[in-house]
Structure 1
Amino acid sequence: MATTKTMKIDWLGDQRYVGRSDGGQQILIDNSANKIGVSPMDAVLAALGTCTAYDVVGIMAKRRTPLSHYRMEVVGERADETPARYTRITVRHIAGGEGVTQEQLEKAAHLSHEKYCSVAASLNAEIVLEVVAEDAEARA
């Protein structure tokens, strides 16, 4: 049986909306001139990045090579015509920790992208992965 999720969206005026999940959590989507939230398309990039980040952190921990630091850069290229959807998204994983290798990090990122990340599976865009394993000294 399929899982059903509901996001209730309330208009706050101008181009500002608040979305409320089934559990009551909120996200502010804001495309107005005086942004106090993220745009809808920025939210897509954030959703993709955090979805795959959950997987990568979990996979690395299960493999007994937990990450000591992790950041991502998610860059979206949009079509010129309407709808200006993302056509290509580059997801750059930059992480490290004791014993973490480039190969292990690449495997975790690819496993997330190819098997686990439901956001990636939902998008109609080319998704390119880049992985950089770094040690703590490289961060300084």
Structure 2
Amino acid sequence: MKAVVKWVAEETFMGTSESGHQVVLDANKGAHAPSPMENVLISLGGCSSVDVVSILQKARQYITDCRCEISAERADAVPAVFTRIHLHFVVSGFAVAEKHVERAVALSADKYCSVAKMLEKAVTISHSFAIEEAPRPA
């Protein structure tokens, strides 16, 4: 896997993935785009969410939405690395079983999410979830 990051102007950079997709990065505290550290959180939430949704679908749970709310703490010194990250999954659906959501979150955290497995070597990552009942399907 390869990627390229190119300086665009001032503190703005363009990242291009091997597959040709682009993402803007802003080193100026995210004034115009996500900062590189914000992108790390987005990548973690995205990777984990893909797992959770896939596992719930395979468990034949009727889900209509999945949101991952991520909060993080950073060190006060330079480099300001993450010291703690918490992922809170909010799963919406009809009659979604708590045991399936709990299992999906655990499997993502413990086995499948490559981003989490990489980050957990340096930062404490915790998880929680909530289930919101969606309107009955037609």
Aligned residue number for residue 107 of structure 1: 103
Q: TM-score, normalised by structure 2?
A: 0.91
Select between 28-37 and 103-112 the one with higher mean Cα deviation. Answer: 28-37
Structure 1 position 54 matched with structure 2 position 50 = yes
Q: Deviations over 1:64-87 (max 9, x none)?
A: 113112212100100111111101
Partners of 1:114 and 1:33 in 2: how far apart? 32
More strand by share: 2
> Paired residues, what number?
133
The alignment yields a C-alpha RMSD, in angstroms, of: 1.4
Q: Structure 2 CA distance, aligned partners of 1:125 and 1:63?
A: 30
**Which piece of structure 1 moves more, 45-54 or 23-32?**
23-32
8 Å Cα contact 1:60/1:108 also seen in 2? yes
Contact 2:95 2:133 in 1 (8 A): no
Counterpart-to-counterpart distance in 2, 1:133 and 1:47: 22
Supply the distance in 1 between the matched residues of 2:99 and 2:13 (Cα, whole angstroms): 42
- Equivalent residue number for residue 91 of structure 2: 95
- Of 101-110 and 53-62, more deviation after overlay is shown by 101-110
> Aligned letter for 2:69?
E
Q: Is the 8 A contact 2:29 2:35 kept in 1?
A: no
Query: Where do residues 36-51 of structure 1 align in structure 2 (5 Å cutoff)?
Result: 36-51=32-47
Query: How far did 1:33 drift?
Result: 6.6
Moved over 3 A (4+): none
Distance 2:111 2:52 in 1: 12
For residues 77-102 of structure 1, the C-alpha deviation after alignment (integer angstroms, 9 at most, x for no partner) is 00111111101000000012123122
Cα distance in 1, alignment partners of residues 30 and 60 from structure 2: 45
Give 5+ residue unaligned stretches, structure 1: none
The match for 1:66 is 62
1:106–1:33: structure 2 CA closer, same or farther, 3 Å change rule?
A: closer
Matching of residues 1-140 of structure 1 within 5 Å? 5-32=1-28, 35-123=31-119, 124-136=122-134
CA distance in 1, matches of 2:92, 2:106: 16
- Contact conserved, 1:102 with 1:131, CA < 8 A, in 2? no
Residues 57, 66 of structure 1: 8 Å contact kept: no
